[in-house]
Amino acid sequence: MSTEPQVEGTLSVTDSRTGQTYEFPITDGTVRATDLRQIKTSDDDFGLMTYDPAFMNTASCRSAITYLDGDAGVLRYRGYPIEQLAAKSTFLEVAWLLIHGELPTAKELEGFEKQIVDRMVVQAEVGESIKAFARNAHPMGILEAGFGHLSTLYPEAKQVESGPERMEAIINTIAKMPTIGAMAFRHNQGKDIVAPDPSLDYSTNILKMFFGADYEVDPRLVRALDILLILHADHEQNCSTSAVRAVGSSQVDTYSAVNAGIAALYGPLHGGANEAVLVMLREIGSADNVSDFMDKVKSREALLMGFGHRVYKNYDPRATIIKGACDDVFEVTGVNPLLEVAVALEATALADDFFIQRKLYPNVDFYSGLIYEALGIPTEMFTVMFAIGRAPGWVAQWLEMIQDKDQKISRPRQIYIGSGERDYVEVSAR
Ligand SMILES: CC(C)(COP(=O)(O)OP(=O)(O)OC[C@H]1O[C@@H](n2cnc3c(N)ncnc32)[C@H](O)[C@@H]1OP(=O)(O)O)[C@@H](O)C(=O)NCCC(=O)NCCS
């Protein structure tokens, strides 16, 4: 991809209100929304805006990180197909790739892995503040609080113009996300926190911090976890990443910008979907009830969670890889009985006109929850797992944003539809 805008032609627009014609450059298949401001009916007219409430057709940045073709079901990180990365790479190698743009050399990777595991430990005061949460507090709420806490513990991260400070915060974010997640998990269970062990790799540490230092880690489960994290590592300008970029554009510190991503991910239409899938599968209970549930979906009484995607109008390539990983995990843990319900749901949906016409296919969340459950991770922790996986994407996108010369503070416009000017009425007169 060229780093400079490619001029492809021009767009001629005639404004029927004035009869005036304008010519706008088309670069990279887009027109600049601000160019449209030249289209005015009078000198004091603000100029033409575009209306795009969910950013359905707005490129918010130029990015060299992730390529996604939703119609073809293609996902690449820095040009490398997700299938190859899931088959051959590791999560931390992918994290380096996303951040730096190239695969690391063996020496770079070794140094990076060491830096990350060394930084997994989290300050004791974060653990103390987690103790103040209710036992049943949602771990995503605790994760948000933990990252808010980190932003106060690393005031130097405010220096977003400093390359070394940026890299410190990036490494800390990837390293400490699972540790705070594990602290939340242990707190929910009324168990003591398990400190990370710098002699172990990242994914083994995650399982040990979750389940206890004595937990026997099966390497097949570690690999499955690593693959899940790779699949979640980035997905271009999704809701949480856009939140990280928008909040980061205020030049707030990295931890606070990442916190915006955690908050966005918490929502059921984004990261909360894999949790919602498991709740849905449990409610359906057995493959015999699939057809009744489908009737509810079609009569708009329910959503088929884990299906549909803003960008993919084809099989989500990550769903295919996860389906494969399910087999490896179930070989170790035994088959999750809800798998049968999921498979029946998928088959029914893919053969149903309602889903075919709307191009609704399984997304990454449809099967990931089943694996997490098989690993012994409870549903309320699923979104935390997503956050651990997405951390490298958030920081890579944040870094790209902060270095982008086109970037200013994010500040959309609105179409005002409220009342015109009116006089205040005293409360006694209302
Ligand atoms: C992901 C999602 C938010 C994308 O939303 P979107 O791009 O705004 O798509 P729309 O809501 O416009 O959907 C288009 C049509 O498909 C329907 N649809 C979309 N997802 C559906 C689902 N999961 N179950 C049933 N119908 C669905 C919509 O009702 C709409 O129908 P209509 O055109 O007759 O009104 C949406 O598909 C969804 O809610 N999925 C379930 C949650 C989920 O799995 N999220 C994880 C994403 S990784």
Active-site residue 138, yes or no?
no
For residues 136, 140, 144, 150, the Cα torsion angle rounded to the nearest 10 degrees is 90
Which pLDDT value is given to residue 271?
A: 82
Report pTM: 0.92
Counting residues of the chain whose pLDDT is more than 90, the rounded percentage is 84
Which pLDDT value is given to residue 2?
A: 53
First to last CA, the chain: 62
User: Is residue 179 very low, low, confident or very high in pLDDT (cuts 50, 70, 90)?
Assistant: very high
Ligand 1 centroid to 267 CA: how many Å? 14
CA angle 229, 374, 385 (to 5 degrees): 30
Active-site residue 149, yes or no?
no
Residue of 314 and 108 predicted with greater confidence: 108
Mean pLDDT of 72-92: 97
* pLDDT tens string 329-354: 888 988 888 988 999 999 999 999 99
Q: Sheet of 74-77: strands edge to edge? A: 66-69, 74-77, 80-81
Q: Which of 266, 297, 307, 383 to mutate to test the pocket of ligand 1 (most atoms within 8 A of CB)?
A: 307
Mean pLDDT of 53-73: 94
The count of other CB atoms within 10 Å of the CB of residue 251 is 13
Give all domains of the chain, ordered by start, each with its CATH number: 1-50 (no CATH), 66-267+381-402 (1.10.580.10), 273-374 (1.10.230.10)
Mean pLDDT of 233-254: 97
Which residue, by CA, sits nearest to atom 28 of ligand 1? 358
Active-site residue 100, yes or no?
no
Q: Which residue among 365, 404, 406, 423 is the active-site one?
A: 365
* pLDDT tens string 348-366: 999 999 999 999 999 888 9
Which pLDDT value is given to residue 1?
A: 46
Orientation of helix 91-100 relative to helix 106-119, angle to 10°: 110
Ligand 1 centroid to 136 CA: how many Å? 30
Which pLDDT value is given to residue 312?
A: 87
Q: Which of 150-154, 201-205, 302-306 has the lowest mean pLDDT?
A: 302-306
Q: Report residues whose beta carbon is within 6 angstroms of any ligand 1 atom.
A: 269, 273, 297, 303-310, 358, 360, 363-365
Ligand 1 centroid to 14 CA: how many Å? 36
Ligand 1: which atom is nearest the Cα of residue 307?
23
